[in-house]
Amino acid sequence: MAIRRERLAARLVAETQQVNYAGAIISGLVVAIMFPLLWSQLALSKGYGLSVGATILGGIVGYAVTIGAGSKRGRALQQSSAILTILGILLAHFLILLRTQQYAELGLPDFGSAVLAAGYAFPSYLSSLTPWNGLFLVLGVISAYWVPHVRTLRD
């Protein structure tokens, strides 16, 4: 029993050594960009914001960072997955704003002007979100932070 416990402890320690940080950031960034594209498309097709997408995004980014790091875990991976999740959530909301009718009525001539107008309107759009959106954002960041946490043996 003690030998088995020592082997498990050695495996858990190995999860935090020789971490591929570049692979973790790249895989997390790919998910943090691709998922908001899907999320915004679903939100626009359904006609509502799908706040639970933030929580799903957090879990998926956390797993992508863990897998990209070579199935490693650690505090730096937790922090990077939380930051990437926040950026992905902001990107999703920006894409939803960019593609909605809220400012399409402005009659902007080209895509560049539309992006600038959306960027200008983005802070007021974020302030119009409901507390549910904030709750799911927090849950998304928590799930992104939890997935690559360092595991330890319990006594």
Which residue type occupies 148? Answer: P
Q: Is this structure's pTM higher than 0.75?
A: yes
69 Cα distance to chain centroid: 16
* Token duo for residue 133: 């959106």
Give the pLDDT confidence score for residue 33 in this predicted structure: 95
* Average pLDDT of the chain to the nearest whole number: 82
The Cα–Cα gap between 34 and 46 comes to 19
More confident site: 39 or 46: 39
pLDDT at 155 over 70: no
Q: Give the residue among 47, 49, 23, 24 at the shortest CA–CA distance from 36.
A: 49
pLDDT band at 56 (very low <50, low <70, confident <90, very high): very high
3-state class of 109 per DSSP?
coil
Lowest mean pLDDT among 49-53, 100-104, 123-127, 132-136: 100-104
Here the tokens at position 25 are 């950031």
- Residues 6 or more apart whose Cβ sits within 8 Å of residue 4: none
Q: How many CB atoms lie within 10 A of CB 125?
A: 17
User: Is residue 102 pLDDT above 60, yes or no?
Assistant: no
Alpha-carbon separation of residue 26 from 20, 31, 77, 81, 124 (angstroms): 10, 9, 12, 11, 31
> What are the boundaries of each domain within the chain?
2-94+131-146
Task: Determine the pLDDT at residue 9.
Answer: 76
Q: Determine what percent of the chain is predicted with pLDDT higher than 70.
A: 85
